[in-house]
A and B are shown apart, each in its own frame.
Chain A
Amino acid sequence: MNWALDFYNYRIVEQYLDRFAEGLENTLMAAAISLVAAVILGTMVALCRMSARAILWRPAAGYVAFVLATPLLVQIYLIYYGLPSLLPATGRWSELTLGIIALSLHNAAYMSEIVRGGIASVPRGQIEGGKAVGMSYIQRLRYIVLPQAFANTLPPLLGQTAVLIKDTSLLSIIAVFDFLSAGLLLNSERVRPNESFLTIALGYLAIYVVMLGLSWAVRRWLAGPAWNAGE
C-alpha cells in the first residue's frame, strides 16, 4: 500500500478538506448566480436579436458575436482590470463579484443563442393550427409555443450549465478562491501535485456526472410517457 500513499496521500487531502469545501462553495455560488443572470440577460438579448428594429437587433448581434469570438479569459480580464478604469467605484468590488459579472455577460450571449434557437424551432404551422381551431394569442402562447420552445431549450441549457460550471475555474486566475484555488493552495504549501490536481479533477468530474444524470432525467421527462415515444 506504500506506493499508493506515495502516489496519492489522502491524509493530506483530508487536512485541506475545509479549504476544498470553501472553494467548492464559491464555485457553485458563482455558477448559480451567473446562470440565473445569464438566462435572464440572455432572454432579453434573444428578444432584441429577434426584433425587426435595427436599433435593437444590431447591438444584440454585435454583442453575441463579440462574446462568441473572443476568449473568456480575455473577457474576464476586461471586466476585472478594465471595468474599474471606466467605473472607478467597481474597483472596490470583490474579485468574486467582478468574476460573476464577467461569467454572466459571457454566458448571456450563449444563452441568447439557445433561447433564440428554442423559439425559432416552433414551426409556424403550429401557430397557424392554433389559430385555425380558434385559440386566442395567450392560449397559443401558453399551450403551443412556450411548451415546445421550453422543451427545445432545456437540453442545450443544461449542457451550457455544465460548461459554465467548468468555466468558473478560470476565476482562480483573478484570485477568486474557487475549487481549483483550494487545490493550488495545497500544491503551493505541500508541493504535492497529485493530491491537489487529481482531487480537483475528481471533484469536477463528480459535478459533471451529476449534470449528466440531470440531463438524462430531463430528456426522459421531456420525451413524455412511453406510449408517446414512437416516432
Chain B
Amino acid sequence: MGSQALACRSGMERGGIAVQHYLDVIVAILPFLWAGFVQTFLVSLVAIAAGSVLGFLIGVVRSQRVPLLHQLFGLYIHVLRGTPFLVQLYIFYFVLPNTGIEALQWSSETAAFVSLSVYTSSYVAEIVMAAIDTVPKGQWEAATALGFKRLPILALVVLPQALKLTVPPMSGVYVNIIKNTAILSVIGISELTRQGEISILRFPSDVLFIYGVIALVYFVYCYPVLRFTRWAEHKVGGTRVVNLD
C-alpha cells in the first residue's frame, strides 16, 4: 500500500517535472516564436496585398477577352499553377540573379516576397475573371443601352457585383498564402517555421513538442480565416465561383 502510494507520488512528480520542462521550453522559445509569427504575418499580409492588386488587374484584363493578352495571361496562370511554389521560389532566388541584370540581384527577402506575390496573383486572377464572368450578360447590355462605355460599365456596374463573389475564394487564397509562407524558410526567411528549426537546435529532444507548438500557432492564425471562408460561401450563395484546388 505504502509503496504504491509512493510510486503514485513519484509518478505525479515525474509528470510535474515533465510539465515544468515543457513550460520551460515554451518560455525559452516564446520570443523566437513571436518574432517568427510577426514575420509570417507581415509577409503574408504584404503578399496578399501585392498579389491581389496584380491578380485583380490580370483578371479584369482577361475578362475582357482582348485577343492576344487573354492568351498571354492564360499562359502566365498555367505556368504558375503547373509548377510547385518551391520551384518558383528557387527560380526567383537562383535563376534571376544568374541573368546578370543588376536590378534582379535580389536579397532573399525580396525574392521571397516577389515570388509569393506572383504566385498569389495567378489564383486571384482566376477568381476575379470567374466572378466577372458570373455577372449576367444582361447587365452589360442594359448599361450599354443606357450609353455607358466599357470602362464605366466595368467600374460602376459589373465590378461592384463581381467583387462580392470574390470574398469567399479570396479568403481561401489567404489561407493558402499563410501556409505557403512556411516554404520561405528554405531560403532563410526567419518566419515561424524557420524560428522553430532554430529553437530545435537548442532543444533537440523536444522536436515533436516544438513543431506541435508551431503547428498550433499556424492553426490559430489560419482556422478563423477558414471558418470565415465557409461562412462567406454560405452567405454569398454557397456556389464556389472557382475551384480552389
Contact = CB atoms under 8 A, between A and B. Distances in A.
Interface in B52-100: 78-79, 81-88, 90-91, 94-95, 98
A86 B206 CA distance: 11
B82 A194 contact: no
Contacts of B211: 74, 77-78, 81-82
A197 B90 contact: yes
A82 B245 CA distance: 28
Interface stretch (B4-12, B25-33, B109-117, B177-185): B177-185
A155 B90 CA distance: 30
A173 B91 CA distance: 16
Interface string A198-214: 10110011011100100
A70 interface: yes
B215 A78 contact: yes
Interface string A70-104: 11111101100111011000000000000000000
B182 A73 contact: yes
Nearest to A207: B82
Among B78, B179, B205, B214, the most chain A Cβ lie within 10 Å of the Cβ of B179
Interface stretch (B133-141, B143-151, B156-164, B216-224): B216-224
Interface string A162-180: 1100110110110000001
Contacts of B208: 78, 81-83, 85-86
B218 A194 contact: no
A71 B219 contact: no
A54 interface: no
Contact of A197 (B91, B183, B193, B223): B91
Majority-rule SS of B interface residues: helix
Contacts of B3: none
Contacts of B95: 193-194, 197-198
B179 to A, nearest CB: 4
A201 B94 contact: no
A169 B186 CA distance: 12
A197 B98 CA distance: 11
A68 B207 contact: no
B212 interface: yes
A167 B207 CA distance: 23
Contact of A205 (B82, B86, B175, B193): B82
Contact of A74 (B82, B193, B200): B193
A162 B245 CA distance: 9
Nearest to A170: B86
Kindly state the interface size class of chain A when it binds its partner: 35 or more
A164 B119 CA distance: 17
B193 A71 contact: yes
Contacts of A82: 207-208, 211-212
B179 A204 contact: no
Nearest to A198: B95
Given A78-B212, A82-B211, A197-B95, A204 B182 contact: no
Contacts of A155: 243
Nearest to A83: B208
Contacts of B200: 81
B167 interface: no
Contacts of B81: 208
B218 A69 contact: yes
A172 B86 contact: yes
A205 B91 CA distance: 14
Contacts of A86: 208
B179 A166 contact: no
A216 interface: no
Interface of B: 78-79, 81-88, 90-91, 94-95, 98, 175, 178-183, 185-186, 193, 196, 200, 205, 207-208, 211-212, 214-215, 218-219, 222-223, 226, 243, 245
10 contacts: A65-B226, A66-B219, A72-B179, A72-B182, A74-B215, A86-B208, A156-B243, A166-B84, A180-B86, A207-B82
